Chain A
Amino acid sequence: MPGIDIDKLNTLHLDVLREIGNIGAGNATTALSKMLNKKVDMGVPKVNILELKNVADILGGPENLVVGILLDVSGEISGMMMFVLEQQSAHVLVNILMERDIHDISEFTELDISALQEIGNILTGSYLSSLATLTKLNIISSIPQMAFDMAGAILSVPAIEFGKVGDKVLFIETEFAEGIDHVTGYFILIPDIDSFEKILMSLGVSL
């Protein structure tokens, strides 16, 4: 049984979860910035608590074509981590890193796709390792899997996991943007309900 109810999280809890987004995404954004050798700005992290029926509205609406990289998080906490790029941004990233000139997802080669997957791997890895350092919790992540598809379809995967225990999903969402080439995307951490307590406790926040 979950030890905590999403609806009972107070302002302090939400602040702490937001700070996790800040630190995790901050590290990942720095990694991305180094990779591109360009300045990447990060938005203020949002802790979104959404009803299942509204989950598909984030990331530009249910039919918005995005590149989603998903990994399973296990160890002392569990849940999922997603790195989501707008379609256009995925082209730009591949074009910069692989010196390509792609304008449509159908042009991606296997090598381009594995490069994108690797970017996802590095960035989510950097997010999670900073989270592990901060909380001193052991966090293991699976090999990332990628899908190009409608945002709603991609978000159905974490939504279903949450759907098993309740009618709401908690996302720690941080947007980032690179100004010149317009690379925008999101880091989304979706800890499962049992993990909130562990994360909060590890940081000395009582429930």
Chain B
Amino acid sequence: MMDSSSIIKVRMADLNVAKYPDILTTLGLGSCVGIALYDPIARVGGLAHIMLPDSTQIKNNSNIAKFADTATVKLIEEMINIGAKKDRIVAKLAGGAQMFSFSQSSDLMRVGARNVSAAQAILEKLGIPIIASDTGENYGRTIELYTEDGRLVIKTIGHGIKQI
């Protein structure tokens, strides 16, 4: 069965949904956060690669996949469209690294951590439980969400591969 699965790429400031047996992936997450949602009964997955925490803080906010708040809402909507039920959806988070450590802790350098908090906040508000996370640190991550069972595989350079 897995042989016929296709891999769907989610780019920066982008989101997508998929049904079993497909795999959603996003490559090279740095300070951006990958929000991976999954309905284990319908075996529907959704993945967003968000760059910024809050659409209400930014004037030019038409690209909804760019922000944690708007992307999560849209992702759930699209998952429901292909058969997911909101009350069954669970979330996993990855990314939000601080790629460069500047001595002055400017706003820019904390954006990874702020992206993670914003994702947590919107998920809590929507009542979606976060069942696993791999966030922060100072390295990039490539993630793969398997609609087969909702596992999220995280690949790094020099920090191993893990599954959450």
Contacts and interface: CB of A to CB of B under 8 A. Distances in A.
A150 B51 contact: no
A167 B103 CA distance: 28
How big is chain B's contact interface, by range? Answer: 20 to 34
Interface residues of A, number: 37
A167 B30 contact: no
B51 A153 contact: no
B142 A163 contact: no
B11 A53 contact: yes
A166 interface: yes
B108 A145 contact: no
Interface of B: 11-14, 27-32, 51-52, 58, 60, 62-63, 66, 97, 99-104, 106, 108, 111, 138-142, 157-158
Contact of A52 (B29, B63, B140): B63
Interface of A: 52-56, 61-63, 65, 68, 70, 72, 105-106, 142-143, 145-157, 159-161, 163-167
B157 A147 contact: no
Contact of A157 (B66, B100, B103, B141): B100
B27 to A, nearest CB: 4
A185 B159 CA distance: 24
A145 B100 contact: yes
Given A52-B66, A56-B12, A153 B158 contact: no
Given A150-B140, A153-B140, A164-B52, A53 B108 contact: no
Nearest to B29: A153
Contacts of A151: 28
B52 A149 contact: no
Given A149-B139, A150-B28, A156 B99 contact: yes
A167 B139 contact: no
Contacts of A55: 12
